[in-house]
A and B are shown apart, each in its own frame.
Chain A
Amino acid sequence: MRKEISRRDFVKASGALIVSFSAASFIEPSVWAQGPFDTHRSHVDPDKLDSWLAVASDGTVTAYTGKCDLGQGMYTVQTQLVAEELCVSLSNVKLIQCDTSVTPDQGTTSGSQSTPTNFNTRNLAQAAATAREALVAMAAPKLGVPADQLTIENGVVRAKGGQHIGYGELIGGKHFNIAVSSTAKRKAPTQWRVLGKPLPSLDRVALMTGTFEFVHNVRVPGMVHGRVVRPPEIGATVGNVDEKSVQHVPGLIKVVVRNNFVGVVAEKQWQAAQAAKDLKVTWKPGPGLPAQENFYEYMRKQPSRDLMLVNSKDVDDRLKASSRVLKATYSHPYQAHGSIGSSCAVADVQADRATVWSATQSVYPTQHGVSALTALPLDSVRVIFVRGSGCYGLNAADTVSFDAALLSQAAHRPVRVQLTRHDEFISENYGSACVIEQQAGLDAGGAIDIWACETWTASLGGRPEYEKPGNVITGMLAGFDPETITPRTAVEPTEELRNGNNAVPSYVVGCVNGKCGGAGTIRSERVLTHAVKSPFFTGPLRSPLRLQNTFAHECFMDEISSYVKADPVAYRLQHLRETRIIDVVKAAAKAAHWDARPSPKPGAARMGTVSGRGIACVAYEGDNGYAALVAEVEVDQAAGQVHTKRFVVAHDCGPISNRDGLRNQIEGGILQGTSRAVGEEITWDDRKVTSVDWQSYNTLPLGIQLPVIDCVLLDRPAAKATGAGETAITLVAAAIGNAIFDATGARLREIPFTPDRVKAALAARA
């Protein structure tokens, strides 16, 4: 049962909003939100220290962050960060995550940006450092000792003579009333006592004992249940809704139709499910879908929005003149986020205000979307993050939040909506399908001196951000347009190398206007990207486009090294000049006891089970983390089955905040990457999506023979902190593909590496 919380649990002093501490290790968002609406802090100014931190009279610290825990461990490491910078124990810090009424607007928790955003020289880290310095400055006159002679221990400022004063006494319950200082001194990693330690994640006990509150568990007074009725075919529109068809369903409260959005609300969840199943809707058919079997060809013929990322303007001439030119085309399917729990949200939309409990990565943008959908003023909408099932990007958390808001507004009741598995699969924002065409020219010595890459990515909608609720299906059905592709010829790069999608391979110099931001040595370079309109909604899926592009770059690099009969590791190093990527390649090869020789493995049998190894590396987004991955596989050539036996990863994310959490992300990323590489693919027929459940969409279950995963974690305390959740997964498909080639001499250029594709590639060997 939901716990009630009374006003006395909220300590409101001088306007500072402080949560009192209870025995529970978590402040549950639904409980937190049951204070009256006057907790609303409509202008949470990120420049003010009080927006980030409050100290209660007992010295405990409440910190407010706009970056949330999606299962990736951000709750724990951000708590460690605040404890570290403020010199208090972990248990004296309570973190409030992502609530439009109380936390600063930090946009979206995505893109491996949470650690760079909050752990370097801004935001939460800088706020905590500012608070520590302010507290010491306050203590100095009281203790009669200059600030530079004071030390802090667990929230108590101490002088050598033994005098001391606690944080609670210094500021307890009062505002700091100062700005976040950009010059407040951060603690050096060498001084860390809480950060940098492999502390157990703080949510562990609650998760394992089934007491953790997910958004799926939020229950508010008067809450009823909604279900949506999605168009059965892509692009279908509502012809007629026969409300009488569900009048027999007990507990039915309302059939809701708004433009092409259809849903039902009932007293109980099962009743809502029955009503959604029985509701007779006549749909006008959609325009139909392009055939899946030649979809990659179709993509390349569509009008496109083009972007030139790097162009030395000598590529065509030099390729013509080159005696040895290699070409290859790679393709990557649409893939689902496929969260284990289908997405869920609870909304309470009243005449003059709305509260939405949502697992969105973007509470502030969702607040804007709900405001647009409900026509309520922005300041009257509160969106509170409550963790959902792991999302890995833009799953259906945003769209179901809109569903709940629309249904609640129509039903005049708080409504909980959880999508069916089918609904989630047919209408989430898939990771984009991509085609990547590579060309390289070799010099007389066998080194690459020309690299040209052209990519096509399918795109429709995306994150709703602040202005585009139509970027997810609910907004579109309710009448808002999704962002789509406006064709445009290529614009040449002007400022500096932008490699946020890793469209530019690591091996080129990446020169734009004389500044060369690439990690490699190849000077004749061109990367042209085409975005084309997708028939399906798309959105960021863990390592969005970075994974697709890296798969093509790293497999192509392997193809070239095989062609010139070079060792894939040595050949990579020959074309790299950035220290950090070189270091991870060397570290991975060393830890894997890399067998230095060209691929494929000499003397491999063409029948039976054979083994091989492959490598791939990346400078994630150009400079947001570095990793190299060695994969060792066995290929059952008769069955076309690929078994991964061992992975060795070398990983550099700057200073490591929590080694255990980092390993967890890397291990999970590698296996998720394996599942995506060998099995995951959205499928469709001429009208509708046909991968609609866990039988028609492949995922690797727990009962697989697990590979060994060895992690080499390079700690770089002096470097800036980078993201770490998406680096390793970026490499998996390429490393496996290269290992399959090493084992068999067969090159897989299309993901996923299903048994049929493996067998076809084996049959095509010379």
Chain B
Amino acid sequence: MASISLRVNGHDHTVDVDPETPLLYVLSDELQLRGPKFGCGLAQCGACTVILRGHAVRSCVLPVTAVKEEVTTLEGLGTPEKPHAIQQAFIDEGAAQCGFCLSGVILTAKTLLDENPKASDEQIRESMSNVLCRCFTHTRMLRAIKRYQAERA
């Protein structure tokens, strides 16, 4: 066990965990965050996605000790009272069914469009090629991503 400090969604935390512990377990068990979720534990689906240094990162395979920068999770973007623009786009499009995959979908799209606001449809598809939604709400999710892209332009 080791005492580890990290900054998440604007707050500093110190946790006492095995240094090998994946970031996801710290976020959901120690900090009781609900945004990032365990989907596969293999970095194959995206449900555990968080933002680190502007990149969408899969927290289920990332040891917590490797995290040096602030972590942003889905609940760190906006609040129920004041959702972030991309969250609002997903709300407006009704782009969810069960909603378990949303960290992967929303944060992957956000980091792409923050870096490349004019991303082509092909580039959007490319960035979403390892993100899974098993309710297959794909149509609405892509529409929401396009809506966010249009609105932030």
How many chain A residues touch B (CB < 8 A): the figure is 68
| CB of A358 to closest CB in B, whole Å | 15
A-B contact pairs, 27 of them (CB 8 A): A71-B100, A204-B90, A205-B83, A209-B74, A211-B34, A212-B34, A216-B37, A225-B29, A250-B18, A270-B20, A271-B18, A340-B39, A340-B45, A340-B47, A340-B98, A340-B134, A342-B39, A342-B40, A389-B98, A664-B94, A671-B138, A671-B139, A672-B134, A693-B40, A699-B134, A702-B138, A706-B138
Q: Min CB distance, B83 to chain A, in Å?
A: 6
Mask, A670-709, CB within 8 Å of B = 1, is 1110110000000000000000011100011111111001
Residues of B contacting A122 with CB < 8 Å?
none
Closest 4 CB pairs of A and B: A71-B98, A210-B35, A703-B129, A210-B74
Q: Are A701 and B128 in contact (CB under 8 A)?
A: yes
Report yes or no: A270 in contact with B21, Cβ–Cβ below 8 A: yes
The reply on A113 being an interface residue by CB < 8 A is no
Distance in angstroms from A360 CB to nearest chain B CB is 15
The minimal Cβ–Cβ distance linking B104 to chain A, given in whole angstroms, is 8
Which residues between 133 and 149 of chain B lie within 8 Å of chain A, taking CB atoms?
A: 133-142
Cα(A225)–Cα(B29), bound, Å: 10
B136 and A208 contact, CB distance less than 8 A: no
Classify the secondary structure of A's interface with B.
Answer: loop
Which residues of chain A are within 8 angstroms of B132 by Cβ–Cβ distance? 340, 694, 699, 701-702
Whether a CB of chain A sits under 8 angstroms from the CB of B57 is no
Shortest beta-carbon distance from A207 to chain B in Å: 4
Instruction: Contact check, A216 vs B38: say whether CB atoms are below 8 A apart.
Output: yes
Residues of A within 8 A of B138 (CB): 671, 700, 702, 704, 706
Bound state CA distance, A38 and B132, in angstroms? 42
Cα A600 to Cα B146 with chains together (Å): 37
Q: In the complex, what residue of chain B is closest to A217 when comparing beta carbons? A: B34
B120 touches A (CB below 8 Å)? no
Q: Quick check: A338 and B34 within 8 Å, CB to CB?
A: no
- B75 in contact with A211 (CB, 8 Å): yes
Which of A209, A269, A701 lies in contact with B87, CB distance below 8 A?
A209
- Asked if B130 is at the interface of the complex by the 8 Å CB criterion, the answer is yes
The one of B1, B80, B133, B137 that contacts A250, using a Cβ cutoff of 8 Å: B1
B44 in contact (CB, < 8 A): yes
User: A214 on the interface (CB 8 Å rule)?
Assistant: yes
Asked if B117 lies at the interface with its beta carbon under 8 angstroms from chain A, I say: no
Q: B37 and A421: CB pair below 8 A?
A: no
Chain A 170-213 near chain B by CB (<8 Å), digits 1 or 0: 00000000000000000000000000000011011111111111
Chain B residues in 8 Å Cβ range of A664: 94, 97, 137, 140
Task: Please indicate which of the listed interface residues B1, B39, B94, B135 has the most CB atoms of chain A within 10 Å of its own CB.
Answer: B135
**Which B residues touch A2, using CB under 8 A?**
32
Q: Are B133 and A702 in contact (CB under 8 A)?
A: yes
Residues 32-72 of B, flagged 1 when their CB comes within 8 A of A and 0 if not, give 11111111111011010000000000000000000000000
Give the residue name and chain of the A residue nearest to B36 (CB).
A210
Tell which of B39, B45, B83 touches A209, judged by Cβ atoms closer than 8 Å. Answer: B83
Whether the Cβ atoms of A390 and B39 lie closer than 8 Å is no
Is the beta-carbon distance between A703 and B130 smaller than 8 angstroms?
yes
Q: Give the distance in Å from the alpha carbon of A86 to the alpha carbon of B124 in the complex.
A: 46
Please, how many angstroms separate the alpha-carbon atoms of A667 and B22 in the complex?
Answer: 35
B134 to chain A, nearest CB (A): 4
Chain A residues with CB under 8 A of B134: 338-340, 389-390, 392, 672, 699
B91 interfacial by beta-carbon distance below 8 Å: yes
Name the B residues within 8 Å of A668 (CB-CB): 97, 135-137
Give the shortest distance, in Å, between A343 (CB) and chain B (any CB).
11
Bound CA span A675–B142, Å = 17
B37 to chain A, nearest CB (A): 6
Instruction: Kindly provide the distance from the CB of B2 to the nearest chain A CB, expressed in whole angstroms.
Output: 11
Distance between Cα atoms of A214 and B96 in the complex (Å) = 14
Which residues 1-38 of B sit at the A interface, judged by CB distance below 8 A? 1, 17-18, 20-22, 25, 28-29, 32-38
CB-contact partner of A210 in B98, B102, B129, under 8 A: B102
A209 to B140, CA, bound (A): 17
Residue in chain B with minimal CB distance to A670: B136
User: Quick one: given A341-B38, A701-B128, are A270 and B22 in contact (CB under 8 Å)?
Assistant: yes
Query: Does B113 touch A at the CB level, under 8 Å?
Result: no
Complex: how many Å from CA A217 to CA B103? Answer: 14
Complex CA gap A675/B37 in Å reads 23
- Name 5 extra pairs, CB < 8 A, besides A675-B136, A702-B141: A210-B36, A217-B28, A340-B45, A340-B134, A701-B128
